[in-house]
Each structure stands twice: as C-alpha cells, then as structure tokens.
Structure 1
Amino acid sequence: MGLSSRSAVAIHALTMLARWDDRSLASAEIAESLASNPVLVRRILGGLRDADLVASTEGRGGGWSLARAAREITLYDAYAAVEAGPVLSRHPHPPSAECEVGRNMQDLLEAEFRDAERAMEERLGRTTIADLARKVLACEREVALRNS
C-alpha cells in the first residue's frame, strides 16, 4: 500500500494534544493547525481512539485528549494506529518464473523490504510524542529569541 499522510496527521494531532494537555481540543482546532479539513482530522482521531491513544468527550467543553501520557506514546504507535499494510509496496502480481530475475526478485525484495520496515519501526519507536512536544517548545523559544 505505501505510506500515506495519515501518519503525519496523526503525529501532528497527538503532539497538539500533548502540548495543550490541560484541556481537550476540538477537531476543528487541530484541523486549523494542519490547514486541513476537520472531517479528515476526525477520521484520523477515530483511528487513534481505536488504538487507545486518544479519548473523546462529547458535549459542551468536550473534544479530544490523550488517553495516556505523551511519554508513553511513540511515533510508531501513531503510525501503526492509522496505516494499513506494509510501507514498501510489493509486486502487484507474481513476476515471470521463466526469467532468472523474475524468479528470484520477490524473495530478495521481501527480505530487503522487511529489514527496512523493521528499521523504520525501531526508529519511530524511539521517539515519543512528549519528545516532539518538547522540541516544538524549544523551536518556539528560539523563534522568540530571534525576534526579540
């Protein structure tokens, strides 16, 4: 299937929720930060809710919040919650068994792609939403210093 923008949207939304963890955020607020559509954001948040990464409350003062501490949610958790299938696309149909390349390519690529996907999972698993929220604040402090 290949990687979509769902992961980036999910990570962005989770980081916003971590940044303003003292209150719930409406999907429209998150969508505004993404310059996106609230319906798309709600779909992504629904996947995050299904994975027990966020919780929602309805009614006045309701919205979205983290279901657990930001330091306990990795980028891989967000990725796994909203992406389906492998990151790297495989052959859409079996290549020719009559060709020496075709006969061997699927198995060779499968091993390479599996290793690459494991490396990505491991790397994304090292960074938490809390790490990104801290980096956002650090970037904002740098901007404020430059502008003062």
Structure 2
Amino acid sequence: MNSDFSIAVHSLVLLAHRTDHMATSEMIANNVCTNPARVRKVMSLLRNHGFVATKEGTGGGYMLDCTPETTHLGQIYTVVCAGTLKPGWCSGDPDNGCMIASNVQFVMDGLFHEAEEHLEQYWKRWTIAEVLRQICLLHEGKSDGIPQFEKGVFEHGG
C-alpha cells in the first residue's frame, strides 16, 4: 500500500468538512502536506469512480460527489490501492528442486490474498463521516486518538 490511500481519505474528509464541499488541488495539497500534482493524480481516480466531481474555471475545483455517511473506506481502498499489499516479487522458484523454494510463492500468494480480503473488510467498517467524527472528537479533546466507535455501530472481531 502506498500513501495514495491516505491522500484520498484525507481529501474526501476535508471536502466533507468544508461547508461548500469544494476545494482546489492547491488547497487540498496544502492541507494534505503534499504537492498539487500528487493530489490531482489521486483526485482523478476518485473522480473517475464518482467520489468527486470537478468544476472548471475561476472558482472551480473538486467537489464532493458522494455521501460521507455511506461512503466507506473499503470503496476508497479498492479504487486507490487494491492488490498492492502483495509485493511485486516473491522469493522462490516453482522449478527449483527444493521443497521450500518451489512452493513458497504459492503459499505466500494465498496469504497475501487473504490478508488483502481482511484489510478490505476492515476498511468497510469506516465511513468518511466516521473518520471526520473521530477527527472532531480528537480536536475537541474528547479522544486520545484511538478510534472509538459508537456503541453498536460496528461489530468487532473476525
């Protein structure tokens, strides 16, 4: 996973928080603490999947085009970085005579696939609105930074 997921979530939470639900790439980049080109790359993915819209020209920028209460981080993860948990290279060689070297790739592929599924399920427990709520609680001094779900909102565990 790379930082594009964090940029995407940060940007959507920022847009959800703004009263006009709109910001330029420069405004978003300043808030995310990265460069506008990086923001535009991520926002392009979000636009292509219906999370944001764009307004061209003077007074233009990115507008929130999804509902924060129903847009979950699993959707964002799938768009921005699904499949990136597994490294591009894995040790071993199926043609190697050694039992370990010839089979480790298959086992690791399965483990990474399962881990990816669990991670996607975890992200589905969070919405953009819930992330914003957690940030507000932290800002108000009502949180220690460890996410606290409202009672009954989410099930914990497997």
* TM tier, smaller: 0.7 to 0.9
Find the partner of 1:75 among 70, 73, 79: 73
The whole-number CA distance in structure 1 between the counterparts of 2:103 and 2:31 is: 47
RCO higher in 1 or 2 (8 Å CA, sep ≥ 6)? 1
Superposition misfits of 4+ residues, deviation over 6 angstroms:
none
**3-state SS, counterpart of residue 72 of structure 1:** coil
The whole-number CA distance in structure 2 between the counterparts of 1:42 and 1:91 is: 29
* Higher share of residues assigned helix: 1
The whole-number CA distance in structure 2 between the counterparts of 1:115 and 1:81 is: 18
Name the % identity.
29
The whole-number CA distance in structure 1 between the counterparts of 2:56 and 2:62 is: 9
The whole-number CA distance in structure 2 between the counterparts of 1:90 and 1:142 is: 42
**3-state SS, counterpart of residue 142 of structure 1:** coil
Structure 1: state its 5+ residue gaps. Answer: 144-148
The whole-number CA distance in structure 2 between the counterparts of 1:120 and 1:72 is: 18
1:47 match: 45
Q: Deviations over 1:55-97 (max 9, x none)?
A: 1111222211211101121112222222263312154576143
| Counterpart mapping for 1:89-108 below 5 A | 89=87, 91-92=89-90, 95=93, 96-108=95-107
Q: Deviations over 1:87-146 (max 9, x none)?
A: 121545761431110122122112211111110000011101110111111111118xxx
Query: What's the TM-score, normalizing by structure 1?
Result: 0.86
| Greater Cα offset, 94-103 or 45-54 | 94-103
Query: What's the TM-score, normalizing by structure 2?
Result: 0.81
**3-state SS, counterpart of residue 140 of structure 2:** helix
Alpha-carbon contact 2:72-2:127 (below 8 Å) kept: yes
Structure 2: state its 5+ residue gaps. Answer: 143-158
What is the alpha-carbon root mean square deviation over aligned residues?
A: 1.9
2:111 match: 112
1:38 match: 36
Give the count of matched residue pairs.
141
Find the partner of 2:60 among 59, 62, 65: 62
